[in-house]
RNA sequence: GGACCUGUGGUGCAGCUCGGAGUGCACGCCGGCCUGUCAAGCCGGAGGUCGCGGGUUCAAAUCCCGUCAGGUCCGCCA
């Protein structure tokens, strides 16, 4: 049986509400759903809009029926064309109506706490408390169905590429690094704990050692960190790993899946995924998650102002962005921008209004007098600015300077994340380490199993902070979707990394013993990736928060307003788990 | 741990700056009228701990302090 046949209406109904058309006129149909609205005209006539997951159809019923909002009813009757002049062009079923001969109330409903039609949107706490009502809305029905389509597209792509889906444990073992973990007490071994996995990282590497070659999983992950619009305690990622591959191979595999997703959801061919190095992303966009949907790229002005008298521009990096039409910004707005730049860590912000006409542009600014005519011309030339534009310049060390301008660029120009087009981007060659810890040891930027860039292996010990890694992020419209790397499969390189990180052999053994153990029995070269399905689905659904694509999400304080979690456990249950609660903290100032 | 925003009948808002009776709007709800509506219409009605606690004041939704909840962000998220 085809999917279409099996998905057809059956049971109590012959058709779905939203699918009835003029071609069905004359048939006796039965439709089931919720009362979306009723329009009563006395005891002999009432119009009832019946809603199911496919849409709404108008039923014409006797006025005597007590059909209130959200009652669940079954209506049977002949489908007919609406009388001339009463067609409703606003809905797909607007040409027809069900002339009800039988109305069956399957379930009565109290008036809902807020209206399902979305005309006025209730605040999030109310929606979350009555999530089962909220999920009836067109918006949430659409969002969760988009998400299901995302999952299906991912599976199609993975399947096509020969990946095998393997489930890994939810009750895992503590790994004392990375995100804070959720702990699960053991009943059979009181005093011992499982943890919920922050990702199936180690498990999937073990599957490579086991010879599965290409693994994937649409995996639930849990991290006990603070929540955000794009972060929940539990989230879903496409997790994959492949053996005997280069990073380019991984990029292709992952790109195939996200492009399949974009294609499936939009029905259009998405722009190809572009690739740039971490360094390039920093120079051009001032961030490691560039939003490629708009210009305003950072411009290097070091050459233009080389040898300048202006002290503020005598710096390692002098960078600028150009705001089209920004010259009309008033003094107050410019001062606010300067404040913003300072808060972001810049020493200051120089603004230059581009004035004048064709061929004789000039710069207008409180600091213009410190710049020579030649320098001003060079700045205009380098930024490509025209009359009426505003040039914003920050000078200082390269990385912080770029980051400040990158943020200003977003403040001034970024569209909502879900706005099309969808511009996927690989950011590659991340540094292997980011800074040093209190003891002076480098800190792993990704995780300690990340393979260094082969060209940089030689200076691993001499100049670790300059070493690039074979790790990479996937970015969509300024959101980090996920990250991955080629892993270290050779014991000698792993030993050098652990030594640099200040992890002793004993410590490594106790932390990652079973992974290192597995590597002694024949580990293939391998690498992989993971990206957030919630984030991808949110963008595809046109939402700014992943809560809108999660059926039952938690609030920022980690509460489920509907289910009432978290809450206390009865003493008997604690005792069974071998747990005793610490006394509550003293009240502040008491 | 920190910053900012929000909290007013069931829902969404206005009122808060400049204190003066729970004052208003829209939707919903309840009752009545109504045979072609589609955000139906008309008439009538009910519904409030102004999140909570304290303070200032003759008087607090309004000003001050604290607190709780929700949101955005920083920290955090190898």
Q: Which CATH code for domain A139-168+179-267+531-557?
A: 3.30.930.10
Tell me which long-range contacts A511-514 makes (C-beta under 8 A, separation of at least 24).
A511/A175, A511/A176, A511/A177, A512/A175, A512/A202, A512/A448, A514/A202, A514/A206
Confidence band (pLDDT; 50, 70, 90) for A2? low
Nucleotide B36 C1' to residue A82 CA (A): 9
Q: What is the pLDDT of residues A379-410, one digit of tens each?
A: 999 999 999 999 999 999 999 999 999 999 99
Cα–Cα distance between A242 and A285 in angstroms, integer? 31
CA angle A508–A453–A470, rounded 5-degree value: 75
The predicted model scores a pTM of 0.94
* pLDDT exceeds 80 at position A3: no
DSSP assignment string, A96-137: EEEEEEEEEEEE--PPPSS-TT-SSPPPHHHHHHTHHHHTTS
User: What is the crossing angle of helices A247-266 and A533-540, to 10°?
Assistant: 40
Residue A452 dihedral angles phi and psi, to the nearest 5°: -65, 160
Residue A229 dihedral angles phi and psi, to the nearest 5°: -60, -30
A80 touches strand B (CB under 7 A): no
- Domain-by-domain residue ranges, chain A? 3-107, 139-168+179-267+531-557, 295-413, 423-529
Q: Which of residues 329-358 of A touch strand B (CB under 7 A)?
A: none
Cα–Cα distance between A227 and A559 in angstroms, integer? 11
Q: Which CATH code for domain A423-529?
A: 3.30.930.10
Name the least confident of A82-91, A258-267, A294-303, A503-512: A503-512
Cα–Cα distance between A453 and A429 in angstroms, integer? 8
Nucleotide B53 C1' to residue A456 CA (A): 63
Provide, rounded to the nearest whole percent, the portion of chain A with pLDDT above 90. 82
Beta strands A479-486 and A526-532, pairing class:
antiparallel
Query: Does the domain at residues A3-107 carry the CATH identifier 2.40.50.140?
Result: yes
Confidence band (pLDDT; 50, 70, 90) for A588? very low
Q: Which residues, other chains included, contact A413 with Cβ-Cβ below 8 Å and sequence gap of 6+? A: A294, A295, A296, A323
* pLDDT exceeds 60 at position A8: yes
Instruction: Return positions of chain B under 7 A from a protein CB.
Output: 1, 10-13, 26-30, 33-41, 67, 69-78
Give nearest nucleotide to A110 (CA–C1'). B29
| Mean local confidence (pLDDT), A45-74 | 95
User: What is the crossing angle of helices A398-413 and A278-285, to 10°?
Assistant: 60
Q: Give the pair of three-digit tokens for residue A143.
A: 């969002």
Q: Are A15 and A29 contacting, i.e. CB atoms less than 8 angstroms apart?
A: yes
SS3 A70: coil
* pLDDT exceeds 60 at position A466: yes
Cα–Cα distance between A351 and A356 in angstroms, integer? 16
Q: Are A448 and A501 contacting, i.e. CB atoms less than 8 angstroms apart?
A: yes
pLDDT of residue A552: 97
Cα–Cα distance between A149 and A18 in angstroms, integer? 20
Cα–Cα distance between A37 and A267 in angstroms, integer? 33
A145 touches strand B (CB under 7 A): no
Give nearest nucleotide to A229 (CA–C1'). B72
A160 touches strand B (CB under 7 A): no
pLDDT of residue A278: 96
Confidence band (pLDDT; 50, 70, 90) for A506? confident
A109 touches strand B (CB under 7 A): no
A88 touches strand B (CB under 7 A): yes
Same fold, A139-168+179-267+531-557 and A423-529: yes
Say which DSSP state A436 is in: E
Q: Give the pair of three-digit tokens for residue A119.
A: 């005309």
A45 touches strand B (CB under 7 A): yes
A231 touches strand B (CB under 7 A): yes
| Mean local confidence (pLDDT), A301-305 | 94
pLDDT of residue A441: 85
A90 touches strand B (CB under 7 A): yes
Q: What is the pLDDT of residues A135-190, one digit of tens each?
A: 999 999 999 999 999 999 999 999 999 999 999 999 999 876 789 999 999 999 99
| Mean local confidence (pLDDT), A559-586 | 89
pLDDT of residue A152: 98
Block residue for tokens 């969002």: A143
Cα–Cα distance between A47 and A479 in angstroms, integer? 46
Nucleotide B16 C1' to residue A123 CA (A): 21
Overall residue count recorded for chain A in this entry: 590
A564 touches strand B (CB under 7 A): no
* pLDDT exceeds 50 at position A590: no
Block residue for tokens 């899946």: A257
Q: What is the pLDDT of residues A72-83, one digit of tens each?
A: 999 999 999 999
Question: Peptide bond before A220: cis, by omega within 30 degrees of 0?
Answer: no
Nearest one of A347, A289, A276 to A318, comparing CA atoms: A347
Q: Which of residues 54-73 of A touch strand B (CB under 7 A)?
A: 58, 60, 63, 68-69
Q: Are A484 and A428 contacting, i.e. CB atoms less than 8 angstroms apart?
A: no
Nucleotide B17 C1' to residue A11 CA (A): 62
Question: For residue A333, how far is the Cα from the chain centroid?
Answer: 31
Q: Are A538 and A546 contacting, i.e. CB atoms less than 8 angstroms apart?
A: yes
The overall average pLDDT reported for chain A is 93
Cα–Cα distance between A447 and A449 in angstroms, integer? 6
Q: Which CATH code for domain A295-413?
A: 3.30.1360.30
Q: Which residues, other chains included, contact A243 with Cβ-Cβ below 8 Å and sequence gap of 6+? A: A208, A211, A212, A213, A214, A524, A525, A526
A314 touches strand B (CB under 7 A): no
């Amino acid at each position: 049986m085809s999917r279409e046949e099996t998905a057809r209406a059956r049971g109590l109904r012959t058709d779905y509400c939203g699918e009835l058309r003029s071609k069905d006129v004359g048939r006796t149909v039965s439709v089931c759903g919720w009362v979306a609205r009723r329009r009563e005209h006395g005891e002999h006539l009432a119009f009832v809009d019946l809603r199911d997951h496919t849409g709404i159809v108008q039923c014409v019923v006797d006025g005597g029926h007590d059909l209130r909002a959200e009652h669940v009813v079954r209506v049977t009757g002949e489908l007919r064309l609406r009388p001339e002049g009463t067609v409703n062009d606003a809905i797909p079923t607007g040409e027809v109506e069900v002339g009800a001969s039988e109305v069956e109330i399957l379930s009565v409903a109290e008036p809902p706490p807020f209206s399902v039609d979305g005309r006025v949107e209730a605040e999030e706490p109310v929606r979350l408390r009555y999530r089962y009502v909220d999920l009836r809305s067109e918006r949430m029905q659409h969002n969760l169905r988009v998400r299901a389509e995302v999952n299906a597209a991912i599976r199609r792509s993975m399947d096509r590429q020969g990946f095998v889906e393997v489930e890994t444990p939810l009750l895992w073992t503590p790994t004392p690094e990375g995100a804070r973990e959720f702990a699960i007490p053991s009943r059979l071994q009181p005093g011992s704990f499982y943890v919920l996995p922050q990702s199936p990282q180690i498990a999937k590497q073990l599957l490579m050692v086991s010879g599965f070659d290409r693994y994937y999983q649409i995996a639930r992950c849990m991290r006990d960190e603070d929540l955000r619009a794009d972060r929940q305690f539990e989230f879903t990622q496409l997790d994959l790993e492949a053996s005997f591959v280069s990073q380019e191979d991984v990029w292709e595999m992952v790109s195939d899946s996200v492009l399949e997703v974009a294609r499936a959801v939009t029905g259009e061919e998405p722009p190809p995924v572009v690739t740039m190095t971490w360094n390039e992303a920093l120079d051009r966009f001032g961030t490691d998650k560039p939003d490629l949907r708009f210009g305003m790229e950072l411009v290097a002005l070091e050459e233009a102002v080389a040898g300048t008298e202006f002290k503020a521009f005598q710096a390692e990096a002098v960078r600028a962005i150009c705001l089209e039409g920004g010259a009309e910004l008033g003094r107050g707005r410019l001062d606010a921008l300067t404040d913003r730049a300072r808060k972001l860590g810049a020493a200051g912000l120089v603004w230059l209004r581009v004035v004048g006409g064709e061929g004789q542009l000039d710069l207008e600014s409180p600091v213009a007098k410190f710049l020579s005519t030649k320098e001003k011309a060079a700045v205009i030339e380098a930024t490509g600015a025209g009359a009426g534009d505003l040039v914003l310049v920050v000078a200082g060390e390269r990385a912080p300077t770029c980051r400040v301008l990158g943020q200003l660029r977003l403040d001034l120009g970024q569209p909502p994340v879900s706005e099309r087009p969808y511009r996927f981007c690989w950011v590659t060659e991340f540094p292997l380490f980011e800074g040093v810890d209190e003891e002076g040891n480098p800190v792993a930027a990704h995780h300690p199993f990340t393979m260094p860039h082969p060209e940089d292996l030689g200076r691993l010990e001499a100049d670790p902070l300059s070493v690039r890694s074979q790790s990479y992020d996937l970015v969509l419209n300024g959101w980090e979707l996920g990250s991955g790397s080629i892993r270290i499969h050779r014991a000698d390189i792993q030993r050098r990394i652990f030594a640099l990180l200040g992890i002793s052999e004993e410590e490594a053994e106790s932390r990652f013993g079973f992974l290192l153990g597995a590597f002694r029995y024949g580990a293939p070269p391998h690498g992989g990736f993971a990206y957030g399905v919630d984030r991808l689905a949110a963008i595809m659904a046109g939402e700014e928060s992943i809560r809108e694509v999660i059926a039952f999400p938690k609030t920022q304080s980690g509460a489920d307003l509907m289910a009432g979690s978290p809450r206390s456990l009865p003493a008997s249950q604690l005792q069974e788990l071998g747990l005793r609660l610490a006394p509550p903290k003293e009240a502040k100032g008491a």
